[in-house]
Copies of this chain bind each other. A is one copy, B any other.
Amino acid sequence: MPTQATQIPAGPETPYLLLDVRKLDANIRRMKAHLAPLKVTLRPHVKTNKSIPVASRFFDTAAKPITVSTLHEADFFFQHGFTDILYGVAIVPNKFGHVRELLLAGADLKLILDNTQTARLLLDFALLHRLPLKVLLEIDSDGHRSGLPPCAPEIEEIVKLLKGSPVDIVGVMTHAGNSYNSRSMAEIERYADQERDAVVASADMLRALGAHVRMVSVGSTPTALFSKDLKGVTEVRAGVFAFFDLVMAGLGVCGLNDIALSVATTVIGHQKEKGWIITDAGWMALSRDRGTASQKVDQGYGVVCNMQGEPIDDLIVVAANQEHGIISSRSGGPVNLLPVGTPLRILPNHACSTAAQYGGYHLLHGEDEGAAYWPRINGWA
């Protein structure tokens, strides 16, 4: 067992976030290798990493198209040389001023919308400021969230409203979020087809209505990795694939060993009679995300590994307080009560929510392992 208190490495105070750069790079290579024969651009979603050094690993080209989930991300990445940005949440008036600033500064920012009301508000703004805007119509391909139904009559209404205006409909986009709830690979593949069909048909409708469609955008990690035919699609957005997490492993999209992100923690005590190990990584460190709760195997608040990243027995974080994690065995079997001071790593349910609890990443297996820290941003301003 390498998990003895006497072997604590000199390192940051726990809890902290660890990123295995070798796994990160391998995950990115896998996605690129899958997409290359499908002839689509990868426009990674940076909402998972929110970090310049991480996002830079996606690209070996001058063009660095990205998707962002907040205008704060748009600011941050634009300031660091990422100019081709798709903001993936429908725009509203209190953000119009911010959009204008980004555009005037030179960002090639694309917005999305899914209704005539927003189109009208945006049109008024564009006319008032004589501001050319690029928008994509959001299509709902699986009923999980926002978006217009594929080929909805309202699309025609919006096209007519915006025709000849400064608001240019450059394409369509969708996100097959329901693929996260798939129960089989076959189901993921069906979602991938459905996602493609929804935007390709809507793009055709737009073209028939006279719009100059340049972007046909799909994306979710499961559908992106298991799509077989993306004819008519121009780009794929996905984010979590670079880190992976227990939800993706539970789906069968990756293995536990592919997960690049973990939370480093320390044993701080025990409840011997209960077979509990108490750590200093509670839900603040792991996030409240319980994404595996609805999967075949519920991993609690995370899978417990030694510092080499190897799972220890069937230990999981069975419960969490704000700054306390409670580790026990998933099966209810006996627990090896690792001594106080033992360093551990926890694989998280959901990379996006866990990473957001931190200001940056400590690195494993990077060029500068141990020394380097990759900062990230959080929040909306």
Contacts and interface: CB of A to CB of B under 8 A. Distances in A.
Interface of A: 5, 8, 11-16, 47, 69-71, 88-95, 98, 113-115, 117-118, 121, 140, 143-146, 177, 266-271, 274, 278, 280, 283-285, 287-290, 321-324, 326, 339-341, 343, 352-353, 356-359, 378-381
A70 B324 CA distance: 11
A352 B115 contact: no
| Contact residues of A: prevailing secondary structure | loop
Given A15-B380, A380-B13, A140 B271 contact: yes
A241 to B, nearest CB: 15
Contact of A121 (B270, B340, B357, B359): B340
B117 A340 contact: yes
Contacts of A15: 380
Contacts of A269: 90, 113-115, 118, 146
B357 A379 contact: yes
A321 B47 CA distance: 12
Given A92-B267, A115-B270, A146-B268, 17 more contacts: A13-B95, A13-B98, A16-B380, A70-B323, A89-B280, A92-B340, A92-B341, A94-B343, A117-B339, A118-B340, A143-B271, A146-B269, A283-B289, A284-B353, A285-B380, A357-B378, A357-B379
26 contacts: A8-B93, A8-B94, A13-B94, A14-B92, A69-B323, A70-B323, A88-B323, A89-B280, A89-B323, A89-B324, A91-B268, A92-B266, A92-B267, A92-B268, A115-B270, A115-B340, A118-B340, A140-B271, A143-B271, A146-B269, A284-B352, A287-B288, A288-B289, A322-B352, A359-B379, A378-B378
